[in-house]
Chains A and B, each alone.
Chain A
Amino acid sequence: ETGVTQSPTHLIKTRGQQVTLRCSSQSGHNTVSWYQQALGQGPQFIFQYYREEENGRGNFPPRFSGLQFPNYSSELNVNALELDDSALYLCASSSPLDRSRSEQYFGPGTRLTVT
């Protein structure tokens, strides 16, 4: 069983640029959630995708957007990068069997630095 993978592992961008982060969900999982973990903080929910549709969003501006593909992999896009966007971005996937109680499996994250 393949776990959750994310790419790239590290990324350095300049303020104002755009970035795309990628996530492959664990085999058999059709729900993907994205979280932002700033240094010294707990992860904060950005949004979730279920069967290619956004299914819930946290308190993040519209310049944070996402996609989910038919194979359940997902992308997180951030436009007009700001210095405060520097963080570890985590992807988590979960099983379709009981979404209301399903455990989420986290990937290793992508470390984004905005200069």
Chain B
Amino acid sequence: QQQVKQSPQSLIVQKGGIPIINCAYENTAFDYFPWYQQFPGKGPALLIAIRPDVSEKKEGRFTISFNKSAKQFSLHIMDSQPGDSATYFCAAKVRYSSASKIIFGSGTRLSIRP
């Protein structure tokens, strides 16, 4: 199974709240899980990433929680700000013999209200 399932599709949170975006996968061959942030009319930019041998990774206000046995991972944004309003994509990478491929989730449109 090459899919990465992402939820929710959209999310509205008050400033200072903690939005949580969830992703799930089936393929145990995935070996790298990046999150991308995309602002309207722009290309996605790498936000934070984690390997499956780590259960949590923090970078600033962004935290990835990873549950290998459940094949789930999530993004938490602490002390969210209106500037965090964007579309967020989770993704997973699988390596083939001489190549690798990134599979993207369907995206979550996040709005942080002032």
A and B physically associate: no
